[in-house]
Amino acid sequence: MSEAAHVSSLPLPPLQYVNLYTDENIQKGRAPSPPKSNMDTYTMFGSTYHADDPIIRPLESQGIRRLYPQNYDHKRELKKLNHSILVNFLDMLDILIRCPDTNKREEKKEDINLLFIHTHHLINEFRPHQARETLRVMLDVQKRQRIETTERFQKQLEKVMEVLQTTLASLPDTADMDNKLLVSTESIEMAEKEKHSDDKEEHCYGLDRIMCDIVDAM
């Protein structure tokens, strides 16, 4: 069975751009620099934004009527908005049952839409806090992993030190090793001397035997 082909979710970049960013061009500084962003405004999802606008724009700058005061508690206001959405949804059901062709249906739809916009706006205001908390959790995880890795290294180091201490304790004393080497060397020298003397004696005995044989033959 052939392996599944890896398909990219995005199209490949044009080769006329890729060929300009070779390793040689990058090392020699011949690769083109990225284009500078000089746009004052841009369009996203059909809405026009300014480059210097804050990430979370106030409701008034978007032409939306604010339903809660400037100073508020996010948690309490989100609960109130949630209850208001549920009540308005029930009112919408009642209007659709009793008089679906009246203008109240459109008014109620606009009210629900406004409530959802405020809910999303309050949630988006939590994004910076969410980003900080996410970063804090990531740093805590990295810190815990590094501490665990350091503790494992420390345990391995203690085991290695224990093995080294045991090995050093099991080694014989240096003086005893020198004495044993000295004794073994002297033994070898004495054995060699005895061997040489035995060879000389055997050589002398052989000559004496030859002389005795000659005398006997006379």
- What's the pLDDT tens digit per position in 151-162? 999 999 999 999
At residue 152, the pLDDT reads 94
Overall average pLDDT of the 14-28 stretch: 86
At residue 109, the pLDDT reads 92
At residue 80, the pLDDT reads 92
Q: pTM, whole model, 2 decimals?
A: 0.48
3-state secondary structure the chain: CCCCCCCCCCCCCCHHHHCCCCHHHHHCCCCCCCCCCCCCEEEECCEEEECCCCCCCCCHHHCCCCCCCCCCCHHHHHHHHHHHHHHHHHHHHHHHHHCCCCCHHHHHHHHHHHHHHHHHHHHHHCHHHHHHHHHHHHHHHHHHHHHHHHHHHHHHHHHHHHHHHHHHHHCCCHHHHHHHHHHHHHHHHHHHHHHHHHHHHHHHHHHHHHHHHHHHHC
